[in-house]
A = this chain, B = another copy of it.
Amino acid sequence: MEGMTIGQVSRQTGVGIETLRFYERESLIPAPPRNRSGYRMYQPEAVARIAFIRHAKALGFSLADIRELLFLRVDAAASCLEIKEIALARIADIEVRLSALTRMREALQDLAGTCRAGRSAGECQLLDSLLAGNFVDAESLSLDRIEEQ
């Protein structure tokens, strides 16, 4: 039986051996055929599928999203539109995170500006602001709040 061993696939794709077995357990890649010793023998399609996973991960898709995309691909009834919807949902998600991070950066920049050389930590305005919480707009947009929804 021909094909690549798990080590060869790992080197070719840059995905660790343990991770490949993990993806198989998680149904992200189908169980490959085995040779007579029980070794996994991967076909070229498996390598393409692993590339797909790597690329989707790089775009911020979760493994659950990726599993969904892979099943849609095989499902002849699924349409391009359903896939676009998943992508648009991810874009919306990214935009929420972008605005939260932007607010956080602004609040932090303001606070960092209040630090004065020569002052002790006990006199630090930044720490005082954290106690007082006078940066409420940043807090109302924190990632935690968003993730709770």
Contacts and interface: CB of A to CB of B under 8 A. Distances in A.
B104 A94 contact: yes
Interface stretch (A23-31, A34-42, A84-92): A84-92
A144 B58 contact: yes
DSSP class of A's interface residues: helix, strand, loop or mixed?
Answer: helix
Looking at chain A, what size class is its interface with the partner chain? 35 or more
* Most chain B CB neighbours (cut-off 10 Å) among A55, A101, A107, A142: A55
A59 to B, nearest CB: 6
A60 interface: yes
A80 B56 CA distance: 43
B55 A120 contact: no
A87 B138 CA distance: 15
A46 interface: no
B98 A135 contact: no
A119 to B, nearest CB: 4
B91 A122 contact: no
Contacts of A75: 121
